[in-house]
Amino acid sequence: MLGAGESGIGAALLGKQQGWQVFVSEFGGIRENYRNELIEAAIPFEDGGHSIDLILRADCVVKSPGISEKVPVMKAVREAGIEVCSEVEFAFRYKGDSKVVAITGSNGKSTTTKLTYHIFKEAGYDAAMVGNIGYSFARQIALQPAQWYIVEVSSFQLDDIHRFKPDVAVLLNITPDHLDRYDYKLENYIQSKFRITENQAQADYFIINADDDLIEQYLAKHSTQAKKIYFTMNEQNMRSDEGGFISNDEIHFRVDGEDAGMSIHDLSIKGKHNQYNSMAAGISARIAGIRKEKIRESFSSFEGLEHRLEFVTTVRGVDYINDSKATNVNSVWFALESMNKPTVLILGGQDKGNDYNEIMELVREKVKAIVCMGVDNAPILSAFGDVIADIADTHSVKDAVKAAYALADKGDVVLLSPACASFDLFKNYEDRGRQFKEAVREL
C-alpha cells in the first residue's frame, strides 16, 4: 500500500483480512491513530521514505489517490510493470453480492453522496457511505460490510480502476480542475471522470447531467453499455420518459414509468446546484426501489454538509455562511447563484490559476464588497479592483471576519466561499471553515 491515509490503511486492513502479505509505505509521517491500527493488526509499515527495492517485489501496488504519477516511486513501479490499482478498485473485488452507487463530478459529489446515503438509511436500507467521504470503501468492507455502498469517487481514484463497476453511476458535472495531474489537458480530466462507466453493462445505470456541455460533447463521440438516464433543469431536454427535470418549481424524477415529485421550496438544501444534486440522488433511490414518499421525506429532513453553504449564525441582522469547501471558481458560482441578499464575499487562499471571469457577472449582480483572505491576494485584487468599490486586503481569518463585519449592513449576508485551496494559511478546508465559524461566534 503506497500512502498511509484513510484509503491506504483501509486497503491494508482488507488486504490482511483477505490473506495478502501486506506492507504499507508512507513517504511522510503516519498519523498516530493510523499507526496504532497497523501495529494492532500486525501489518508491517514504514514512513519517512519509500524502500523502493521492497516495493518492487509486490504483485500489486494499491496507490493512495493523492500520490502523483510523477514521483520517483511511481515511475519505478510503472517501469517494473507491476499492477497498480486504487483503493476503490481493490475494495470492489471483495464486495461480494452487494450493490454500488458511485458518484463523481467536479462539484457537488459530497453533498449528493451524503443525500443519497440519507435517503437509503431513512428507507431502512443496509447502506454505508464510503470513498472520498467518510470511511474508505476498503475499511467498510473489512470491518462492517453492507448491502449497499454509496461511494463518492474522485478522478484520482478512477485513474487506477480495472474492474470497478457500479450498479448505478452518477456524473454530476465536469469543470476544469486538478489539471496539473492531467498534463494540463482538459480532455484527459474528462476521460478520467468517464471511467466511472467504462465497465458498466446493460443491466447497469448511468445517471448524467444533460445540461453539461462537456459531458454532452464527450458522449457524442463515446458510448457506454449502461442504460443512460438524464437529469436537467429544462423538461424540453429530457431524452426519454425516464429522468429528472424541473417544471413550475416542481422537481421530478421518473423511473419505471412512475413520476415522483415535490416542490423545490420543500428541499432542505437550497440553490440550483442542489436541485441538480437532488435529482441525481432521487433517481438513484428510485432505481434502488425506494418509495417516492420516503424520498420526499428524506429531501425535507436532510442536513447539508459542514463547510458547504453551512449557515453559521446571524449577528446584528447579518447572516454568516461557511462555504469553505468551495476550493474552485465553479463552486463559488454555485454559491453566489443561491444568494438572495446583498453579499460580502470572502475570497482567497492558494490560487490555482483561477479565471475569475466565470463569476464576474454574478459578482456584479450580487456582491457589495469583497474581503481577500490569503498570503498573496494580488490575483483577486487585480481581478475585481475595477468591479467592486469596497475590497479589503486581509491575511488571517480573524481580520477577514472583522473586515466583513464592518462592510456588512443589516439584511446582508457574509459568505466565505474562497475559490482557492486552503494550504497557505490552514491545514485544509475543514480547518479554514472551523476557524471561520469560531471567529464569527466571537463577534
Map residue 163 onto helix, strand or coil: coil
Q: How many helices (H) and strands (E) does the chain have?
A: 17, 19
Whether 173 and 105 have beta carbons less than 8 Å apart is answered as: yes
| Per-residue pLDDT at 177 exceeds 90 | no
Cα dihedral across residues 3, 19, 149, 162: positive or negative = positive
Q: What is the mean pLDDT of the chain?
A: 94
Give Cα 90 to chain centroid, integer Å. Answer: 20
pLDDT at 359: 95
pLDDT for 354 = 87
Distance CA 309, CA 331 (A): 10
Distance of CA 266 to the CA centre of its chain: 24
What band does 241 get if pLDDT is binned at 50, 70 and 90? Answer: confident
* Residues 273-289: tens digit of each pLDDT: 899 999 999 999 999 99
Grid coordinates of 66: 493523492
CA–CA gap between residue 224 and residue 196 (Å, rounded): 10
Contact 86, 161 (CB under 8 A): yes
SS3 (DSSP) at 295? helix
- On whether the CB atoms of residues 278 and 251 are closer than 8 A, the answer is yes
Q: What stretch(es) of the chain map to CATH 3.90.190.20? A: 310-441
pLDDT at 330 over 90: no
The pLDDT value given to residue 134: 84
| Distance separating the N- and C-terminal Cα atoms of the chain | 46
Helix/strand/coil for 335: helix
Helical axes 292-301 vs 109-122, angle rounded to 10°: 120
- Given a cut of 80, whether residue 224 has pLDDT beyond it is yes
**Model confidence band, residue 184 (pLDDT cutoffs 50, 70, 90):** confident
Please name the residue that has the C-alpha cell 479589503.
Answer: 392
In terms of DSSP bridges, do strands 127-131 and 99-104 run parallel, antiparallel, or are they unpaired? Answer: unpaired
What dotted CATH number matches 310-441? 3.90.190.20
Just give the CATH number of 6-81: 3.40.50.720
In the chain, % of residues over pLDDT 90: 83
- C-alpha 417/C-alpha 223 separation (Å) is 36
Band (pLDDT 50/70/90 cuts) for residue 272 is confident
Residues of the chain with CATH 3.40.50.720: 6-81
pLDDT at 179 over 80: no
Which are the contacts of 36, defined by CB distance < 8 A and separation ≥ 6? none
Percent of the chain with pLDDT over 70: 100
How confident is the model at residue 338, as a pLDDT?
87
338-396 pLDDT, tens digit per residue, is 899 999 999 999 887 788 999 999 999 999 999 999 999 999 999 999 999 999 999 99
C-alpha cell at 7: 484509503
**CATH for 92-301 (3.40.1190.10, 3.40.50.300, 3.40.50.2300, 3.30.1330.30):** 3.40.1190.10
* Residue 139, C-beta contacts closer than 8 angstroms, at least 6 positions apart: 6, 9, 10, 13, 14, 130
Q: Which residue has the higher pLDDT, 337 or 353?
A: 337
**Comparing 95-99, 169-173, 181-185, 198-202, which segment has the lowest mean pLDDT?**
181-185
**pLDDT score, position 182:** 77
Helix or strand (DSSP H, E) at 360: helix 357-366
Residues spanned by CATH 3.40.1190.10 within the chain?
92-301
Residue 235's pLDDT band (boundaries 50, 70, 90)?
confident
Question: For residue 237, how many other CB atoms are within 10 A of its CB?
Answer: 14
Residue 270 binned pLDDT confidence (cut-offs 50, 70, 90): confident
The residue type at 165 = K
Give the CA dihedral 238, 204, 213, 267, nearest 10 degrees: 60
